[in-house]
Structure 1
Amino acid sequence: MRPSRASGVTTVHEARGALGQRLRELRQRAGMTGRQLAESLSWPPSKVSKLENGRQTPTAEDIRDWTGATAAEDQSEALLTSLHTLDLQYAEWQRQLRTGFTSHQSSIARLDARTRFFRAFEPTVVPGLLQTAGYARERFTQGATTLKVPHDVDEAVRVRTQRQEILYRPDKRFHFVLTEAALRFRLCAPEVMLGQLDRLISLSTLPNVKLGIIGFGTRYDVAPWHGFWILDHDRVMVETYSAELNLAQPSEVKLYGTAFERLAAVAAYGRAARALITQVTEDLSAEAPEAPADGE
């Protein structure tokens, strides 16, 4: 089962294609060729083709220019609504993070406030709500370098840390499932990861937090293709290198819910999970620099 390729990405491509088809219809109704439209807007001809064939997402300004050039201003509002829906489904990181990470973290915090039941599966990283400040700093720093976005790491770490206060609210429930690989991948310095592992053990004892770890020796019932979050029972969030997918179709939410249940079913919990974390801690301790002795 490969949920991301079978559902979310396909849905986004279909939505972008449908928007492009509507733009094409307006151009044809105006009796204009693609080249004529491009010339009237001082665009390269390839841009018209890409927008109409769903290979490029238009901006709000593109839509306003298009409807103006085709004398279809009355269609602007409907097209902009479609674009907004598409942006929610497929939010490109370059757009979301154009001012840095802090604004996006604040948006997620508002979503957190509305959500009562969180389910998260992460095969490669520790989930944001469980991260220490040191681990979060590494994630944001690497993200800023990869995506070449503004480096507001200090403020982003502060907002993410503040978000974690919801873990202590009795009206919220959390079910996290991580793979052992997420605990062992070298994504930060050993001493930073040791602090992170200690925090996982501490958080696993909270009454409203259920933390499962899938060990390397576990036989999977469904492959761990990628991480995802299910918020309540009506939204799935998937992060890729280029974008954040937000899936809301009932069939998609059901598919991811089933995948989560099957992954959660093979995870270790309670003492068994903490034993796995402790073993990783012992293995990693040998790599961490020793603290200087008193007087040194």
Structure 2
Amino acid sequence: MSTDYQQAREALGARLRELRVERPRGRLTGPQLAALLGWPHSKIYKLEGGRQTATREDLRALADALGRPDVFGELAARLTGFETHVQSWRRQLTDGHRPVQERWNVEIDRTTVVHAWEEAVIPGMVQNADYARHVFRRYADLHGSMHDIEDAVRARARRQEWLFEKGHLFRVLIWEAALRSLICPPSVLAAQLDRLAGMIGMDTVELGVVPFAASVKVAPANGFWLLDDRLVIAEDWHAELWLDDVDNIALYTKVWNALRESAAYGADAHHVINAARRALTAR
């Protein structure tokens, strides 16, 4: 959980305590408020202490119980403000994978330069349809989400149009593990590697591969994307982190630059990709 997220959650908790103490009809204790709501009293203390995230329903119930339904809008806005930093897959995938891809498309369309690091999969911006299909299927199975696979593949393909627009630059780093990870059948990965190799030399793509044998300054882990100098999107098993504060953007930029020092480009990148391709043929 990000420091920004936790600080915002604690600030919301402090506001909830303030509303309880300054209740128009007289102050309530935490247990009294919990009894009024039919909640365990520990929930009040966790919410006010920033140890539990309120839902919109929680906030509406609290505002009504405290005789301040007028503050619900303020509380909901606070919640929305810090939830944008941690977007759980459970919530994001309620309506399937296509809406998630479309939100990404909106952000990419606003961006001129993308810096990306992927350690385990081929980046979505350069995936072919078959490879993307298998990736979406794996994640849908993992999260138990809607299998809107074909809609998601089409939405991701639309994002790739960005690569063919003048003035854009996709600066992507990939660890060699992503070239060899069989998240799909070998034949699908082989076609994907052929496409990846074909993108080297495009004027909108700067592709670097970090070989297994390369000396690295930071551990090659934790995939992330930098959109211009305004937003970092980092992925974890439970959620995406959307970080827009200056310190985190600077940190991820530093990590990307450190990884870049270990990357192979041009003919050297071709060599690493082709080695992975030959290893598939030998199976």
Query: TM class by shorter-chain length?
Result: over 0.9
For structure 1, the residue ranges without an aligned partner over 5 or more in a row are 1-7, 288-296
State yes or no: 1:14 paired with 2:7: yes
Moved more, 161-170 or 19-28: 19-28
Judging changes above 3 Å, is the alpha-carbon distance between structure 1 residues 151 and 49 closer, same or farther for their aligned structure 2 residues? farther
Cα distance in 2, alignment partners of residues 115 and 66 from structure 1: 40
Whether 1:28 aligns to 2:24 is no
TM-aligned CA distance change 1:38 to 1:110, over 3 Å: same
Give the letter aligned to residue 240 of structure 1.
Answer: D
Residue by residue over 1:108-153, the C-alpha shift from the partner in whole angstroms, topping out at 9 and shown as x without a partner, is: 1111111111000111111111111111111111111111111111
Output the amino acid matched with 2:6: H
In 1, the alpha carbon distance for the partners of 2:12 and 2:240 equals 19
How many equivalent residue pairs? 280
Matches within 5 A, 1:1-296: 9-30=2-23, 31-287=27-283
User: In the TM superposition, what whole-angstrom CA distance separates every residue of 1:219-277 from its partner, at most 9, and x where no partner exists?
Assistant: 10122231110000011011111111111111111111111111112201111101110
Tell me, which stretches of 5 or more residues in structure 2 are unaligned?
A: none
C-alpha separation between the residues in 1 aligned to 2:141 and 2:91?
16
More deviation in 141-150 or 70-79?
70-79
The structural deviation recorded for 1:16 is: 1.6
- Secondary structure at the residue paired with 2:87? strand
CA distance in 1, matches of 2:265, 2:66: 61
Q: C-alpha root-mean-square deviation of aligned residues, in Å?
A: 1.5
Matched-pair contact (CA < 8 Å) for 2:5–2:83: no
Q: In structure 2, the residue corresponding to 1:97 is in which secondary structure?
A: helix
1:43 is displaced (CA, Å) by 3.1
| Amino acid across the alignment from 1:62 | D
How high is the sequence identity, in percent, across the aligned residues?
A: 39
What is the distance in 2 between the residues matched to 1:251 and 1:89? Answer: 14
